[in-house]
Amino acid sequence: MFLKRQMPAIIAIGVGLFILFGHFINNPNVQGFVNNDATQWFDIIASFAIFLGALNMLKLQVLKVVKKQRNWQYSILAIFGFAFAIFAGFFFRGANYITLTDIHPQNVNKLVEYISTVQEVDDPVLMVKGIQGSLASYEIPKIFISRSSAEAFSVTISGIAKDVTLGVKPWGAHVQIKGSLFSWMFFKIFTPLSSTMFALLAFFVASASYRAFRIRNFEATLLLVAGIILMIGRVPVGELVPWWLVSTLMVFGIGALIAPLIPDKKLLFGIIIGGIVLTSGLGILLDWNLAVNMPAILSLPNISEWIFDYPTAAGSRAIMIGIALGIIATSFRIILGIERPF
């Protein structure tokens, strides 16, 4: 019981208080602990958390298959994906490379031709320059997943240089090297799947906006207008919106705001039409078609930037301050042992 309840609380309270007060104690050992050791502890725990998370995911998926829960077939795919990633990461490097030593200068162009048969060469001239600069030892910019394919290619290019050697990228590094099995999995499976999932959002956002973005009250209207200005103002097409359209929409907006104060609809209509004629006339007189003459307020990109810089920044600050106060309160509750999420 002590190990399960009191011990975690003592560790959390002790370490929490020590790190908190450590910031106010000007002692190199304490500062060293707070700035270095504690962060390394955190890193080690975070690494274990990844390990535990992966195991937990595996356990859940296996249980789903064993118990044949709803949609268990997808779990087989998840387990297979997990096993494949583990295989490509820990058991099979699939990152063979070829190094040429003492390349004959007259064979450089031929080598580029050979390389282009196994690897897309964006700029052959640049590659020729690169090889000419490393004639003594040049690593072919192609990683072979299987050793047999690397050997077959090395036989093809055997006459190009004095010596052709095969190597395998070191463990750990193999995961990141473009062309390895792990990298192939990332770029050919994970990347398209992940991009597809994210891209689908555009369609759902469009459909949801069409159905749910309604002018129901003042707040909804404000949100809608700001949303539309940002959507158009943040993309290049916003630059093409003419000043007269923006000024007309502004007059309509003002009309909508003052409408409840003016019961006479004819008068309201007159004010709106008068406003449109006035702004349009001013624009023609002052030549607002020229970008330098146009008031900044009539440019949608400027309005969208203003929305970002002022109302958005103010709202975000308020949220951030609220979150910060919440974090302080929660931290104190944990440090004092009132709350025990562990």
Partner 1 sequence: MDLLKKIFIALGSMDRRFIFLLVGLSVLLPKLYPDLFTLPIKASSHSQRVFDEIDALKEDSKVLVSFEYGPSTKPEIHPSAIALLNHLFSKNIKVYAVALWPDGNFMATEAFSQVADGYGKKYGVDYVNLGYKPGGEAVVKGLASDIRTMYTVDLLGNDIDSIEMMKDVKNLLDLDFIFSLSAGYPGSKEWVQFACDPLGIPMSTGCTSIQVTDIIPYVENDQIKGILSGMPGAAEYEQLVQDALNERGIVVSPGKASINMAAQSMAHVVIVLLIILGNITYYLTRKSGKKGGM
Binding site for partner 1 (CB under 8 A): 35-36, 39-40, 42-43, 46-47, 49-50, 123, 126, 130, 169-173, 175-178, 183, 186-187, 190-192, 194-195, 197-198, 202-203, 205-207, 209-211, 213-215, 224, 227-228, 231-232, 234-237, 239-240, 301, 305, 308-309, 312-313, 315-317, 320
CB of 249 to partner 1, least distance (A): 12
List alpha helices for the chain, DSSP H. 7-22, 28-32, 38-66, 72-86, 108-118, 124-132, 147-156, 181-185, 191-212, 218-233, 243-258, 265-285, 300-307, 313-335
Beta carbon nearer to partner 1, 247 or 299:
299
CB of 214 to partner 1, least distance (A): 5
The Cα–Cα gap between 295 and 263 comes to: 32
CB 332 within 8 A of CB 325: no
The Cα–Cα gap between 24 and 30 comes to: 10
Kindly state the DSSP code that residue 144 receives in the 8-state scheme: B
CB 288 within 8 A of CB 217: no
CB of 259 to partner 1, least distance (A): 15
Beta carbon nearer to partner 1, 76 or 126:
126
Beta carbon nearer to partner 1, 73 or 316:
316
Beta carbon nearer to partner 1, 282 or 327:
327
CB of 163 to partner 1, least distance (A): 23
CB of 62 to partner 1, least distance (A): 23
CB of 254 to partner 1, least distance (A): 19
User: Hey, what are 208's tokens?
Assistant: 């949801």
CB 111 within 8 A of CB 159: no
Beta carbon nearer to partner 1, 63 or 126:
126
The Cα–Cα gap between 312 and 303 comes to: 12
The Cα–Cα gap between 135 and 132 comes to: 6
Beta carbon nearer to partner 1, 2 or 203:
203
